[in-house]
Structure 1
């Protein structure tokens, strides 16, 4: 298992964080709106918690996919 301070782990956490932030911006969705949309999916996160979790970048793949579903992202461009 990769350590939290492993450079590759940090690199991919940063990529995931930036992808999620980019999608939120592209869709015009705020953290408050994301919290509401997740709540509608029975996933309860506060705006502040979302901000902290996304800023850190150390979230699960499940959380990442839940957020993408909540903002209506059906596909994602990983490079370029």
Structure 2
């Protein structure tokens, strides 16, 4: 059992990946588009480096805040899953809506 599985079976790396991908989707961006925005802000990121960070889901919070800033996101509501059941209910209700 990894450290990420220690809290009620929640895969927190997956949850982080999902948050990043969801935010990009909301803005209609790909990793390439995000890389261009970050490069324009003076960061040394490429499509490949972002894809690797997203795949691992273990990027730094500072990176995620920089992403939010270049996207123009000023507020983000985060639902913290307390157990694997919370995630399953959330997914079910999302698909039913």
- Indicate the TM-score class for this superposition, using the shorter chain for normalisation: 0.7 to 0.9
Query: Quick check: 1:77 aligned with 2:96?
Result: no
User: Number of residue pairs matched?
Assistant: 76
Contact preservation (8 Å) 1:20, 1:68: no
Q: TM-score, normalised by structure 1?
A: 0.81
Partner of 1:51: 51
Q: Max radius of gyration: which structure?
A: 2
Q: TM-score, normalised by structure 2?
A: 0.68
Q: 1:39 to 1:11 in 2, by over 3 A?
A: same
> What are the ranges of 5 or more consecutive residues in structure 2 without an aligned counterpart?
80-89, 91-97
Question: How big is each residue's C-alpha offset from its partner over 1:40-67, in whole Å with a ceiling of 9 and x where there is no partner?
Answer: 1211111011111111101101111111
Aligned counterparts, 1:54-65, within 5 A: 54-65=54-65
Cα deviation for residue 11 of structure 1 reads: 2.7
Partner of 2:66: 66
